[in-house]
A and B are shown apart, each in its own frame.
Chain A
Amino acid sequence: MAQETEELAGFRAELRDWLEENCPAEMRDGSSPEDHTCWGGRNWVFESDAQKAWLERCAAKGYTVPTWPKEYGGAGLSRAEEKVFLSELARIDARLPLQSFGIWMLGPALLHFGTPEQKAHYLPPIARGEVRWCQGYSEPGAGSDLASVQTKCEDKGDHYLINGQKIWTSYADKADMIFALVRSDREAKKHLGITFLLIDMRNEGVSTRPIKLISGVSPFCETFFDNVVVPKVNDEGISAVVGTVNRGWDVAKYLLTHERSMISAMGTGLGGARPLGAVLKDDLEGDLDTSLRAAAMKAEIDSLAIGLTLERYKDMANSGQGVGDASAMLKYVGTELNKDRHELMMSAGGSDALEWGGAFGDRPADWLRTKANSIEGGTTEVMLGIVSRRVLGLPG
């Protein structure tokens, strides 16, 4: 590590003490697969008192969303401090206290497009893990062609009336609220008639149905809107529309850049994850054969370099340069790598990895789950299309 400034070193020391005192031993198991880290929300059942305490202590310090402003429940950390924060968590092998689509996606969009009232109303409950959001983007007829969303949004004076269906809504059955793209103007060009709307899942007419995947689990749902009434402003006077009516595509795109960066990070083994080759070696209880070793070396090299690229783009974003279309690059390289890594882990697991819940636990399910990485949030092919047209300027 390069020499840290005195200020950063001070922050690190202080943080280290705080973590020592406040991070429960049970939360230092380094496992942050999707189902072991707290997602929060009204329906969340804490797996232990430790998990609850860890969330509450972090939330009180703003450490669930360390870079958000303090007024919205964050800790107001700089980018450099955030790096220190993450490295200290990794050092003690701590889980993140909270993960959610509110943190990864809606939060950044609200910070950018939300009114002061919307930020004050919606962000702190996300930071405290009290409200869990889900994302209503894809529809049966709008997958890669996301801007073709058809879920109908009619202006009824003091409220909107919503009818339609979303699909691939992650954890909709467990969510409290949904941020959804709805068609508010059927006459306008497709990108110009979309509104970004915040809807309470408890509203009458909202229903969900989990979709069972090849991995045997159901992280995704179908979400139905049947004459759902969404007040334009809620009881506390907060608008349900983020940004401007009919200009929701701007919000949607901005949010997608965050979603893509987030999905990308899953593949790189950042945050203290063990090197792939070492994992494989342990699995085999011996040396890797030549072909597996060569593949593991390549995956390790790519993983390190992609991790550095994510950091580089975060630094750029922090200095005010938008990540924008380059998030397509991050998403593409990160998800393809993640698929490769899981192929190698299955290979190292051999026949033991073919058993549901066998010697390698969730490994077969995780392997199958990664196949969605290069589909969700925009397919690899859509990502390459964005790079070729928007970044390289190749003709359409």
Chain B
Amino acid sequence: MLAESARGFLDEKAPVKHLRDMRDAGKTHDPALWKEMAEMGWAGILIPEEFGGVDMGHAAAGVLATEMGKTLVASPFLSSSVIAATALKQVSDARAGEALAAIASGERTYALAIDEKSKFNPEGTEMPARREGNGFRLSGKKTFVIDGGFADRLLVLARTGDGLTLFDIPADRAGITREAQSMIDSRDAARVVFDEVEATGEDVLGQVDDAMSVLKPALEAGQAALAAELSGVAAGAFGMTVGYLKERKQFGLLIGQFQALQHRAADLWCQTEVTASAIAHAGRMLDADPENATLAVSLAKARATETAKQAVIEGVQMHGGIGMTDAFDMGFFMKRARAGAEWLGDYGYHAETVARLKGF
């Protein structure tokens, strides 16, 4: 039901052409589109009703992310409404409530500034937040800050002595400079430089030296939603490919009559189904038993990464030459699948998590 209504809206307002047009216009964010999504309640999908959200849970967020993935919708949904909202929900103070309300209404966007090197590794965060007086000074550089080019606020992970601390600060605070990254998937990302940026105790989300009690649930929510988006990317690419197999003729036959292609397409569908189970399970676990959802989330992200990769590689190959052209949409799917594979932990990162939790 949610899927169908989302599909209807997105097919009209945000087909793949919408991303293409934004790219061609040099844009990475469409505030008008996000406003409409917020009006439908999507921005507040995880936010309690008392703060203006619709509070439908992670499984529902996954359904929306999947539908967005099918047409490569660029929006702050994951950064703001899933990751930041989940982090803020771990903190029950008036400021967090106000922030949640601002996310739900769509008027405030967030970006998560974690990565410092080319691979996701939150525990390895080095950027220091040096104690000074009653507060902190942040100095260093973050990269691959998704939606960091336009976000109103940043969640910044920094090292404070022996521990890690999560800061919630405005993106235009003195000492912050943002440099847009020209990403292969045409989505927003920025390199963010912190030059002696001031932060007070008020800016700390959760407790000092204990970022993970706030961040871990947020990351897992984001990873599950990203996995769902990637399953949508796979489904979008696969739908195009199966359609093409039924219409393209070579050697006097529909190419879908060739068993070599039939069996590869069938294998891809099977993998898509298996991945869908992992994604649904992750959403259910986050809703029912979030403390113990790590395995389910890593399973979903690992599977979704691999399935999306297979779908776009087969998508280009089975379309032949046209699949390689910029004028055709398949390339957009391939590039989003690659970026999504890296964000919030790649296959290896999540496979390691599964192995660790399974005792090897």
Residues of A within 8 A of B (CB): 1-3, 275, 277-278, 280-281, 288, 293-294, 296-298, 300-302, 304-306, 308-309, 311-312, 326, 329, 332-333, 381, 383-385, 387-389, 391-396
Q: Which residues of B contact A387 (CB under 8 A)?
A: 266, 269-270
B182 to chain A, nearest CB (A): 33
Q: Among B257, B267, B354, point to the contact of A297 (Cβ < 8 A).
A: B354
Of A2, A301, A329, the residue contacting B288 (CB under 8 A) is A2
- Which of B266, B274, B289, B351 makes the CB contact (< 8 A) with A309? B274
A to B CB contacts below 8 Å, 15 in the list:
A298-B351, A301-B299, A306-B274, A308-B280, A308-B281, A309-B276, A332-B270, A381-B263, A384-B263, A385-B262, A389-B262, A394-B245, A394-B256, A394-B262, A395-B246
Closest Cβ–Cβ distance, residue B58 to chain A (whole Å): 13
**Smallest beta-carbon distance A282→chain B, Å:** 10
**Cβ–Cβ contact B273 & A309, under 8 A:** yes
Q: Which residues of A contact B254 (CB under 8 A)?
A: 395
Pick from B256, B257, B259, B278: contact of A304, CB below 8 A: B278
In the complex, which residues of chain A have a beta carbon less than 8 angstroms from the beta carbon of B273?
309, 326, 329
Give every chain B residue within 8 A of A297 (Cβ-Cβ): 351-352, 354-355
- In the assembled complex, the Cα of A116 lies from the Cα of B123 at a distance in Å of 64
**Size bin of chain B's contact surface:** 35 or more
- How many angstroms between the C-alpha atoms of A306 and B278 in the bound complex? 8
**Known: A297-B355, A300-B355, A395-B246. Is A305-B262 also a contact (CB below 8 A)?**
no
Are B274's CB and A392's CB within 8 A? no
A1 CB contacts on chain B under 8 angstroms: 289
Name the A residues within 8 Å of B85 (CB-CB).
none
- If A301-B302, A305-B277 touch, whether A392 touches B269 (CB-CB below 8 Å) is yes
Bound CA–CA A219/B256 (angstroms): 39
Shortest beta-carbon distance from B270 to chain A in Å: 4
Q: Which residues of B contact A306 (CB under 8 A)?
A: 274, 277
Q: Which B residues are CB-close (under 8 A) to A301?
A: 299, 302-303, 351, 354
Kindly state the separation between the CA atoms of A1 and B291 in the bound complex, as whole angstroms. 10
Which chain A residue has the least Cβ–Cβ distance from B272?
A329
| Chain A residues, Cβ within 8 Å of B251 | none
A278's partner among B277, B284, B352, B360 (CB-CB below 8 A) is B360
Q: Are B354 and A300 in contact (CB under 8 A)?
A: yes
Which A-chain residue is minimally distant from B262 (CB atoms)? Answer: A388
Q: Smallest CB–CB gap between B106 and chain A, Å?
A: 32
Answer whether residue B79 sits at the interface, using C-beta atoms and an 8 A cutoff: no
A199 to B284, CA, bound (A): 47
In the bound complex, CA of A106 to CA of B246 (Å): 38
A384 with B262, Cβ < 8 A, contacts A277-B360, A304-B278, A333-B270 known: yes
Is residue B275 within 8 Å, beta carbon to beta carbon, of the partner chain?
yes
> Is B252 interfacial (CB 8 A cutoff)?
no
CB distance from B238 to the nearest CB of A (A): 9
Known: A281-B360, A301-B303, A394-B242. A2 touches B257 (CB 8 A): no
4 interchain residue pairs of minimum CB distance:
A277-B360, A2-B288, A387-B266, A388-B262
Is A296 in contact with B355, judged by CB distance below 8 angstroms?
Answer: yes
Report yes or no: B360 in contact with A288, Cβ–Cβ below 8 A. yes
In B275-307, which residues have CB < 8 Å from any A CB? 275-278, 280-281, 284-285, 288-289, 295, 299, 302-303
Docked CA distance A278–B355 (Å)? 9
Instruction: From known contacts A2-B284, A278-B360, A296-B360, infer whether A305 and B266 are also in contact, taking CB-CB under 8 Å.
Output: no
Residues of A within 8 A of B360 (CB): 275, 277-278, 280-281, 288, 293, 296
With contacts A281-B360, A308-B277, A312-B277 taken as known, whether A388 is within 8 angstroms of B355 at the C-beta atoms is: no
Once the chains bind, are B303 and A277 in contact (CB under 8 Å)?
Answer: no
Given contacts A304-B278, A308-B281, contact A3 B288 (CB under 8 A): yes
